[in-house]
Protein backbone atom coordinates (compact mmCIF):
# COMPACT_ATOMS: atom_id res chain seq x y z
CA UNK A 1 0.00 0.00 0.00
CA UNK A 2 2.83 2.38 0.87
CA UNK A 3 4.39 1.88 -2.56
CA UNK A 4 1.16 3.02 -4.23
CA UNK A 5 1.11 6.09 -1.99
CA UNK A 6 4.78 6.72 -2.84
CA UNK A 7 3.98 6.59 -6.55
CA UNK A 8 0.91 8.80 -6.40
CA UNK A 9 1.97 11.27 -3.70
CA UNK A 10 5.64 10.98 -2.73
CA UNK A 11 5.46 13.71 -0.09
CA UNK A 12 2.69 11.92 1.73
CA UNK A 13 4.73 8.73 1.76
CA UNK A 14 7.58 10.49 3.55
CA UNK A 15 5.18 12.17 5.94
CA UNK A 16 3.53 8.85 6.92
CA UNK A 17 6.95 7.39 7.67
CA UNK A 18 7.96 10.32 9.90
CA UNK A 19 10.54 11.91 7.59
CA UNK A 20 9.38 15.50 8.00
CA UNK A 21 12.17 17.32 6.14
CA UNK A 22 12.06 14.89 3.22
CA UNK A 23 8.28 15.30 3.14
CA UNK A 24 8.54 19.09 2.99
CA UNK A 25 11.09 18.92 0.20
CA UNK A 26 8.98 16.40 -1.70
CA UNK A 27 5.84 18.53 -1.33
CA UNK A 28 7.68 21.58 -2.66
CA UNK A 29 9.02 19.58 -5.60
CA UNK A 30 5.56 18.10 -6.23
CA UNK A 31 4.15 21.61 -6.44
CA UNK A 32 6.88 22.58 -8.90
CA UNK A 33 6.20 19.41 -10.91
CA UNK A 34 2.50 20.22 -11.16
CA UNK A 35 3.23 23.79 -12.22
CA UNK A 36 5.73 22.72 -14.87
CA UNK A 37 3.31 20.11 -16.13
CA UNK A 38 0.50 22.64 -16.43
CA UNK A 39 2.58 25.35 -18.10
CA UNK A 40 5.27 23.42 -19.99
CA UNK A 41 4.11 19.79 -20.07
CA UNK A 42 7.35 18.40 -18.63
CA UNK A 43 6.44 18.00 -14.96
CA UNK A 44 6.00 14.25 -15.26
CA UNK A 45 9.81 13.87 -15.35
CA UNK A 46 10.18 15.52 -11.95
CA UNK A 47 7.23 13.51 -10.63
CA UNK A 48 8.90 10.30 -11.82
CA UNK A 49 12.09 11.22 -9.99
CA UNK A 50 10.14 12.00 -6.83
CA UNK A 51 8.26 8.71 -7.05
CA UNK A 52 11.53 6.83 -7.57
CA UNK A 53 13.06 8.60 -4.55
CA UNK A 54 10.06 7.76 -2.35
CA UNK A 55 9.88 4.09 -3.38
CA UNK A 56 13.62 3.53 -3.03
CA UNK A 57 13.62 5.25 0.37
CA UNK A 58 10.77 3.02 1.51
CA UNK A 59 12.52 -0.12 0.27
CA UNK A 60 15.77 0.90 1.99
CA UNK A 61 13.92 1.48 5.26
CA UNK A 62 12.34 -1.98 5.01
CA UNK A 63 15.73 -3.57 4.31
CA UNK A 64 17.29 -1.76 7.28
CA UNK A 65 14.51 -2.95 9.57
CA UNK A 66 14.86 -6.51 8.29
CA UNK A 67 18.62 -6.40 8.88
CA UNK A 68 18.19 -5.05 12.43
CA UNK A 69 15.75 -7.85 13.21
CA UNK A 70 18.18 -10.41 11.82
CA UNK A 71 21.04 -9.06 13.94
CA UNK A 72 18.82 -9.11 17.05
CA UNK A 73 17.82 -12.71 16.33
CA UNK A 74 21.45 -13.74 15.85
CA UNK A 75 22.46 -12.02 19.09
CA UNK A 76 19.65 -13.74 20.96
CA UNK A 77 20.90 -17.13 19.73
CA UNK A 78 24.42 -16.37 20.95
CA UNK A 79 26.21 -15.71 17.67
CA UNK A 80 29.24 -13.49 18.10
CA UNK A 81 31.65 -11.86 15.70
Q: Give the mean pLDDT of the chain.
A: 91
Helix (H) or strand (E) holding 9: none
Rounded to 5°, angle at Cα 68 from 66 and 71: 110
Residue 4 has a pLDDT of: 94
Distance between CA 78 and CA 1 in Å, rounded? Answer: 36
| pLDDT of 81 above 80 | no
pLDDT at 14 over 70: yes
Chain mean position to CA 67: 18
- Tell me how far apart the alpha carbons of residues 42 and 33 are, in angstroms, rounded to a whole number: 8
DSSP single-letter state for residue 70: H
Amino acid sequence: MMIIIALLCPGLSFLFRGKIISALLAFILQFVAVLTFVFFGAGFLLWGLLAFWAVSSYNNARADRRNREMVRAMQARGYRR
